[in-house]
């Protein structure tokens, strides 16, 4: 996809992080910009900023785990701007902890946003994009799904997040092949960022009450502490990565990484699979990280014991 001017981009998770930066770039390219987010105040802040710069914006509060709400977003987008050309299934949340300690509501929430959010986005927009292509010989479209390096690796104490992001990678690879099968003029990319400051480590702020009100395990609290430090110290910014993503769209590059040097860990995992080895130690090069994680878990346990909270 080379031509952006006057075309329409839909961005879920558009109120912060990557979504906000995608919206800024799209507006700068003179696109019609549709931003959706579950957090109304963040959504309004981005809408106000873009409109102040002269952009054409449609902003809607949407919970992407709801198929009906994503369908309504697609209907509203067509009513306002007509054909959709670029879709970012970007909304996502993070959650960690030992995999057997995640509650059913943890699973429902993370899978609802990270996996079902992408499913709903594909189901709502791809048929409309294909219909637009049938009616316009010059139509080109593009779909970008945000996964993570956690979609290619399996770090401990992050099981629920790993599972969700592996699903997004698989879904997008299949999407790529399906679009090729039907000769659709629609490209696709899967984003696999590593530690980039986006606010995802604080995504519990938008968790449903029945998730945020549950007792939090020591392993989940420890992972949140570790993630906040790792993500917060990231040197690649959301704006940097967003620029990389738009270059990938222009070049029709499928896999997009914020930290390509981390692919060595992916190579190790693939070799383990092909050579039928047990999974390699993810802390082999940085045993201090394992120690910090264990210490963080012990610290949380001690804090809870000291306060009498559970």
Spatial distance between the Cα atoms of 78 and 73, rounded to a whole number of angstroms: 9
Q: Are 20 and 90 contacting, i.e. CB atoms less than 8 angstroms apart?
A: no
Q: Are 270 and 206 contacting, i.e. CB atoms less than 8 angstroms apart?
A: no
Spatial distance between the Cα atoms of 85 and 303, rounded to a whole number of angstroms: 51
Spatial distance between the Cα atoms of 75 and 80, rounded to a whole number of angstroms: 9
- Which is the catalytic residue, given 139, 161, 194, 255? 161
Q: Are 184 and 130 contacting, i.e. CB atoms less than 8 angstroms apart?
A: yes
E strand or H helix that includes residue 129: helix 117-135
R_g of the chain computed on alpha carbons = 20
Concerning whether 161 is annotated as a catalytic residue, the answer is yes
Residue with tokens 């001017």: 5
Sheet containing 255-257: give its strands across. Answer: 56-61, 32-37, 8-12, 86-89, 141-146, 186-192, 255-257
Other Cβ atoms closer than 10 A to 221: 19
Q: Are 66 and 38 contacting, i.e. CB atoms less than 8 angstroms apart?
A: no
Active site residues: 161
């Amino acid at each position: 996809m080379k031509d952006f001017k006057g075309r329409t981009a839909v961005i879920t998770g558009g109120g912060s992080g990557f979504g906000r930066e995608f919206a800024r770039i799209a507006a700068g390219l003179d696109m019609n910009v549709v931003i959706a987010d579950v957090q109304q105040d963040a959504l309004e802040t981005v809408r106000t900023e873009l409109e102040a710069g002269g952009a054409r914006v449609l902003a809607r509060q949407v919970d992407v785990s709801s198929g009906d709400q994503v369908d309504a977003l697609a209907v509203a987008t067509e009513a306002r701007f007509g054909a959709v050309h670029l879709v970012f299934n970007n909304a996502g949340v993070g959650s960690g902890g030992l995999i057997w300690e995640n509650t059913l509501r943890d699973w429902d929430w993370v899978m609802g946003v990270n996996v079902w959010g992408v499913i709903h986005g594909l189901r709502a927009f791809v048929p409309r994009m294909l219909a637009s292509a049938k009616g316009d010989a010059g139509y080109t479209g593009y779909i970008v799904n945000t996964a993570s390096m956690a979609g290619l690796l399996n770090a401990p104490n992050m099981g629920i997040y790993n599972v969700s992001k592996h699903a997004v990678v698989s879904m997008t690879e299949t999407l790529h092949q399906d679009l090729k099968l039907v000769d659709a003029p629609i490209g696709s990319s899967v984003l696999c960022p590593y530690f980039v400051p986006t606010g995802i480590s604080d995504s519990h702020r938008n968790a449903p009450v029945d998730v945020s009100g549950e007792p939090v395990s020591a392993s989940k609290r420890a992972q949140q502490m570790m993630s906040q430090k790792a993500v917060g110290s990231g040197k690649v910014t959301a704006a940097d990565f967003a620029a990389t993503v738009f270059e990938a769209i222009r070049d029709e590059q499928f896999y997009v990484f914020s930290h390509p040097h981390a692919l060595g860990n992916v190579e190790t995992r693939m070799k383990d699979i092909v050579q039928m080895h047990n999974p390699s130690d993810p802390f082999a090069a940085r045993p201090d990280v394992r120690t910090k994680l264990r210490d963080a878990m012990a610290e949380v346990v001690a804090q809870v014991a000291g306060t009498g909270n559970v």
